[in-house]
A and B are shown apart, each in its own frame.
Chain A
């Protein structure tokens, strides 16, 4: 990743941030929420490139979200940066621990075991009556370095925070995908044994990927908790994980920005579907997914890349 592209990304995100005060508030909230999904999908891309698809990423998402809610409730912590930092650490920690087990598995078994683990967290949360069981608990409004914006100011502050997180994730994940460890993902997907013959421990590599992706999911969960102001066990349910995989398919694993665009598109399609057909929005959502898989198999990100490739070719000619 070149300095130029980083600069370009910073300019685009900065432009979005500057445009916020001129954008309707509902749209800003919607984009913020979509970015929280985008962060999770970023993590899924890392795993996906290695041929791993977890059906239980909601485990880390919910860990992040509940970390934010409980830090506020039990310890009175309100600083958004601190909360997000804690959520990332907790999610990564959980992934590090379960990783010793999960990293041994591949394919559908990896998917199923991660699903089982997230459903166990769901069960624990439902059982916790002091945490409101399925009703969940409210998240206290965050502060930003001692500032406590309220009303629309809070919506803007969260949006800018989200942009900052997206930028960090984008630079970080792109750097990782470009590194040797990141590049090995494709090799793991194609043939693990050959990678082992290179003298590299595939299990350790998968463990690392899992931890990174969990940190991103934790960040996404934290952002979602702050922007919804409420957390509930549904965040750990398998349908939540299904939603993340859905967006990953929509976006494709080809590029990191596609994760965020895919998440945004998903949120927009869902909200339009709800408005269009209040009693049948799942039908629209399912059809979009189906058509994407059938006709744009590599995800929407691949369209962008194809286009770029075409432009480069033309330039070369």
Chain B
């Protein structure tokens, strides 16, 4: 008796939980024109809603997903995406917090697919979570689009069938950074790096050093600093950098640590001695404004944000995003938008091959492989990782604070073609870097 009543109570709780989460979704669904014939496509969206990565990445990603889904459902996205929903089917999103251990993420992924019946999942900022979820996505045959994680390992360790990543991986960020640095400082004698002591920081630094070795074999490494993630206090590291003669300091810091580091090193005059290179600097530049010294080299993990070209799609995207959220979209917003647009392109293509009928997941997967589509900021080609990993152009530029308008700007923008900064399809990024980047086409 006891057992059944507990179970009944639990069932009530679970259904209550589902009901509550359904409410906001229902509200979104109501604003879209009814298309009664086609059942909706349920889309799980996983992004940091709490924790340190929520502000810089998670929330812009969620905002971008919210607005893209709403606009797609309404058929209001400009060409070539002007048809409503995914091949006519409205999208029903369900948002899940990415905070918590990778065990939690695997559990919640199973819940999304097996309990909540999601047709596809767009998710994950943390590379660790991407790596943990990938085998489960394969096991469940669940179409999954990773939207922001950077590690090249996803498709290099084993081929995957149901997992895609439209967003290029992080090797590109650091190869392009090296090229840009050497364009500014052709005779660079030595450089240093300060990166967070976890996978992202270690990988970024390793790739940057390898690219520098290939492009400027004479340049040496002065200091290699790897402070703890979220250390917040970098006094000792800044002193260590001040004691070197490095012209250039590489850093893949993001948000909290990045802003703290910029303020602290500014107060102690580090930028007067070394030019700083922030590969993920774009998320912080509007918040810090004049605190960032002019000439600082800024990356945006793609040609996103202010470095994006002036296409109609980009103008539209910036317009609706700024109207709704009263702030400019930073690169995570672009990553999310291009991931959802990739999914839509694949879906529409698969449906077109079927005479307009809703495609099966396997058909979408087939259509997604090797796909080329337009993102708001660049053309994405699913060219490597057996057609599952996107490559795109990337841009780097130098920061300038426009005092007249009180606005942060990027100048001296250099755009590198995808083939110039990405490994070819048959090589892993590490092997490609170690071999001196053979086959890179930069013009």
Q: Does A10 contact B (CB under 8 A)?
A: no
Known: A133-B198, A135-B127. A278 touches B114 (CB 8 A): no
Cβ–Cβ < 8 Å partners of B153 in chain A: 132, 135
Q: Which residue of B lies closest to A268 (CB)?
A: B10
Q: Which residues of chain B (89-104) have a CB below 8 Å from chain A?
A: 95-97, 100-104
- Tell me whether B13 and A272 are in contact (CB under 8 A): yes
Q: Mark A17-50, 1 if CB is under 8 A from B, else 0.
A: 0000000111101100100000000000000000
* Residue A275 interfacial (CB < 8 Å): yes
Asked whether A33 and B139 contact (CB < 8 A) given A135-B153, A234-B101, A276-B20, the answer is no
Query: In this assembly, does A126 line the interface, its C-beta being within 8 Å of a C-beta of chain B?
Result: yes
Task: Tell me whether A228 is interfacial, beta carbon within 8 Å.
Answer: yes
Q: Check: B357 CB closer than 8 A to any chain A CB.
A: no
CA distance A268 to B9 in the complex (A): 13
Q: How far is the CA of A154 from the CA of B106 in the complex (A)?
A: 15
Across the interface, do A275 and B17 meet the contact criterion of CB distance under 8 Å?
Answer: yes
Report whether B151 and A135 are in contact in the complex, using a CB–CB cutoff of 8 Å.
yes
Binds A, one of B130-138, B286-294, B295-303: B130-138
Partner of A33, one of B14, B97, B103, B198: B103
B18 within 8 Å of A (CB atoms): yes
Determine if A26 and B110 form an interchain contact, defined as CB atoms under 8 angstroms apart: yes
A229 near B135: Cβ-Cβ < 8 Å:
yes
Q: Is the interface of B mostly helix, strand, loop or mixed?
A: helix
- A26-B115, A133-B199, A234-B128 known; A228+B97 contact, CB < 8 A: no
B372 contacts A by Cβ under 8 Å: no
Known contacts A138-B157, A272-B14; A232 and B132 CB within 8 A of each other: yes
Is A282 an interface residue, CB under 8 A from the partner? yes
Q: Which B residues lie within 8 Å of A138 (CB)?
A: 131-132, 134-135, 157
Using C-beta atoms within 8 Å of the partner chain, give the interface range for chain A: 35 or more
Residue A174 CB within 8 A of the other chain: no
Given A132-B131, A134-B198, A230-B106, A280-B10 contact (CB < 8 Å)? no
* In the assembled complex, B197 has its CB within 8 A of some CB on chain A: yes
Residue numbers in A under 8 Å from B244 (CB-CB): none
Query: Across the interface, do B199 and A267 meet the contact criterion of CB distance under 8 Å?
Result: no
Interface 0/1 of A111-149, CB less than 8 Å to B? 000000000000000110100111111100100000000
Q: Are A280 and B132 in contact (CB-based, < 8 A)?
A: no
- The interface centre, meaning the residue of B10, B101, B103 with most chain A CB atoms within 10 A of its CB, is B103
Consensus secondary structure, chain A interface: helix
Please tell me which one of the listed residues A27, A134, A274, A282 contacts residue B108 in the complex, with CB atoms under 8 A apart.
Answer: A274
Give residues of chain B (112-132) contacting chain A, Cβ–Cβ below 8 Å.
113-115, 127-128, 131-132
Docked pose: A138 CA to B197 CA in angstroms? 21
The residue from A24, A151, A230 contacting B102, defined by CB atoms under 8 A apart: A230
Q: A30-B107, A230-B135 are in contact. Are A240 and B101 (CB under 8 A)?
A: yes
Judge whether B202 is part of the interface by a CB distance below 8 angstroms.
Answer: yes
**Are B13 and A135 neighbours in the complex by a CB distance under 8 Å?**
no
Give the interface size class of chain B.
Answer: 35 or more
**B97 to chain A: which residues have CB within 8 Å?**
274, 278-279, 281
Given the known A-B contacts A132-B199, A268-B10, A278-B96, are A26 and B18 also in contact in the complex, defined by CB atoms under 8 Å?
no
Which of A127, A133, A154, A224 interacts with B103 by CB under 8 Å?
A224
Q: A270 interface residue, CB < 8 Å from B?
A: yes
Compute how far the CA of A272 lies from the CA of B17 in the bound complex, rounded to whole angstroms.
6
Q: Which residue of A lies closest to B128 (CB)?
A: A135
Bound together, the chains give a CA A133 to CA B151 distance in angstroms of 12
Query: Do residues A134 and B110 form an inter-chain contact, with CB atoms below 8 A?
Result: no
B410 is an interface residue with CB less than 8 A from chain A: no
A234, B104: Cα distance in complex, Å = 11
Contacts of B197 in A (CB 8 A): 126-127
* Measured CA separation A268–B206 after assembly (Å): 41
Residues of A within 8 A of B200 (CB): 134
A168 at the interface (CB under 8 A from B): no
B245: chain A residues at CB < 8 Å are none
Known: A26-B114, A240-B101, A278-B95. A136 touches B50 (CB 8 A): no
Contacts of B131 in A (CB 8 A): 132, 135-138, 230
Rounded to whole angstroms, the CA-CA distance of A129 and B195 in the bound complex is 14
Q: Which 7 pairs of residues, A with B, have the shortest CB-CB distance?
A: A230-B132, A26-B114, A134-B198, A135-B199, A133-B199, A275-B17, A279-B49
A residues adjacent to B (C-beta < 8 A): 24-27, 29-30, 33, 126-127, 129, 132-138, 141, 150-151, 154, 224, 228-230, 232, 234-235, 240, 267-268, 270-272, 274-276, 278-282
Known: A134-B200, A276-B17. 11 other contacts (CB 8 A): A26-B115, A133-B203, A230-B106, A232-B102, A267-B107, A274-B100, A275-B18, A275-B21, A276-B21, A278-B21, A279-B97
Pull 24 A–B residue pairs with CB atoms less than 8 Å apart, ordered by A. Answer: A26-B110, A26-B114, A33-B107, A127-B197, A133-B203, A134-B198, A134-B229, A135-B151, A135-B199, A136-B132, A137-B131, A138-B135, A151-B139, A229-B135, A229-B139, A230-B102, A234-B101, A267-B107, A271-B111, A272-B17, A276-B17, A279-B49, A281-B50, A281-B97
Q: Which residues of B contact A (CB under 8 A)?
A: 10, 13-14, 16-18, 20-21, 49-50, 95-97, 100-104, 106-108, 110-111, 113-115, 127-128, 131-132, 134-136, 139, 151, 153, 157, 197-200, 202-203, 206, 229
